[in-house]
A and B are shown apart, each in its own frame.
Chain A
């Protein structure tokens, strides 16, 4: 049985279509990522999965239970972490955890082993009000609260947004630990590096799914050669690349600018054009495409299709 079975899920808010005919499946025990810019429809899709909104169209089942008709039963098996911190800021760390344990009809003690690696880190502050925790600690508390009833599936909506880099890495290590416990996790993120840690990722844009695959497969299916061009004057380099016809879709990535080549053009042509523009000594090397390249490529393609 699949953990998630979604068929043609559509959600409209008035004239806006937030989720547009989205179908996907998530296998049990899988760490499944959604990636896409703000407004892509990830949150809406997650709220449907969490039984919070009834979709305008389509069907979604979690472990064979329908999110619309079997929501009562399903709520016992879902751990949901909304994008915004939504625990009680005027209750202490321990009181929040106790609260969620009790309303799920369990105790902290019963499932302590599951949250231990996470909760242990914030336990020294258990008498502190949740509102006074740092961003990373809030995230750990929210995850603990979402886990305390031992859910079969965790739905995490941008769990690491606004969290520092160290806490982000820690957080993903925790997720991998939970995966080993057999918990299915669906997670959305705006960060490409986090997407690489998922078993499979779905690229989402403007309510549509643009592709689902493993990170490696998505990268290799890109099909085009990508070159990283660099020069000391990065800004002029970017402008020059944008102006020339040989390079397609220049995007700045750290020190370099990533480009693909127009049909029939070679790296040498690009270098020559750069020299003509007064940028001598520019370096251009072929690289393996990253998720970001793929994603930006897909986005550009869909935009040019619209035109």
Chain B
């Protein structure tokens, strides 16, 4: 025990002396929180429209005015032909081309059936769908205005996208994130990325550095026990990981006013279990790598997969079955879910018990795997 304490004090002394480490420990949480949280969003806030107004009537102008009146649409250009509009879609200058036919106002007056053509750049399916639904809801409003002012359905049919004119009105209430603030959804996830980076990358690099510099060879001939050595390598980054989590969370409070509904104790307890799992993985990867470069490559590969499949951006439930099965061994997926539940919903222990239990099993398995793979001699 005395040896372990001494080994630990040596580790902390080395970390303190390494200017890169100190900077990384402070800068990583600050930058990740301040950059990733507001930047990574699926919200569509600005849609560039190319309007081909072949009608040039009061009605068509009103429709365009109604679109630009909402905060989403900006008329980027008013090309004369569809071909021009298409080239704007190609170059990315416009997201949507809206073609208003020459008989638009006549149609509204009940003479013909009014039709609008809408061309959407759907490279990003999510934003295309969002843009489309914003557009249709504006058109639906416009349609209703027409009905109210003329007292009749234009073109005898419900030609403009199926509105529910005299129907049921639905008023949704969004729970846990009432203002649909995307930051609230991202922030718990970014906290997971943060401690993954600290726990996996930093600790692993530290371990491989001793191998690379040959110092491990000198340690290996000493009577230091394997568990003492491993504990001395893991504990510092366990502590740093929790400190960085606290730092990240404080930034979330100060900068984004993130709500925290659940128990802080539960939150940190889960993070601690998670850290044991990723530290075990870091130790395991480091036994396979003999240089920091090799370690980085392996670790980066796995971290990438773990994070993208964890459900940070897309719900894991919509992933193919094999991906969901992979997530059984993905510690990031568990903490991603736990963090959001505890922070936003205020879920208690009984709600996350299953995830917490699985995470504990994973942490134990990864650590055992790493300890078995670690050799003091060849």
Contact = CB atoms under 8 A, between A and B. Distances in A.
B376 to A, nearest CB: 8
B91 interface: no
Nearest to A80: B221
B215 A87 contact: yes
Contact of B377 (A54, A90, A103): A54
Contact of A86 (B17, B18, B214, B378): B214
A90 B214 CA distance: 13
A89 B13 CA distance: 12
A24 interface: no
Interface size for chain A: under 10, 10 to 19, 20 to 34, or 35 or more residues? 20 to 34
Interface string A62-97: 000000000110011010101011111111000100
Nearest to B15: A90
B12 to A, nearest CB: 12
B172 interface: no
Contact of A72 (B14, B17, B223): B223
The 4 closest A-B pairs by CB, nearest first: A86-B214, A80-B221, A53-B378, A86-B218
Q: Is the interface of A mostly helix, strand, loop or mixed?
A: loop
Interface string B191-214: 000000000000000000000011
Contacts, number: 64
- Interface majority SS on B: helix, strand, loop or mixed? helix
B220 interface: yes
Interface of A: 50-54, 71-72, 75-76, 78, 80, 82, 84-91, 95, 99-100, 102-105, 145
Interface residues of B, number: 22
A53 B6 contact: no
A104 B223 contact: yes
Interface of B: 2-3, 6-7, 10, 13-14, 17-18, 213-215, 217-224, 377-378
14 contacts: A52-B217, A52-B378, A71-B377, A75-B223, A80-B221, A82-B214, A82-B218, A86-B218, A88-B215, A90-B17, A91-B14, A103-B3, A103-B6, A104-B223
A52 B14 CA distance: 25
Contacts of A85: 214
A86 B222 contact: no
Nearest to B218: A86
B221 A52 contact: yes
Contacts of B7: 103
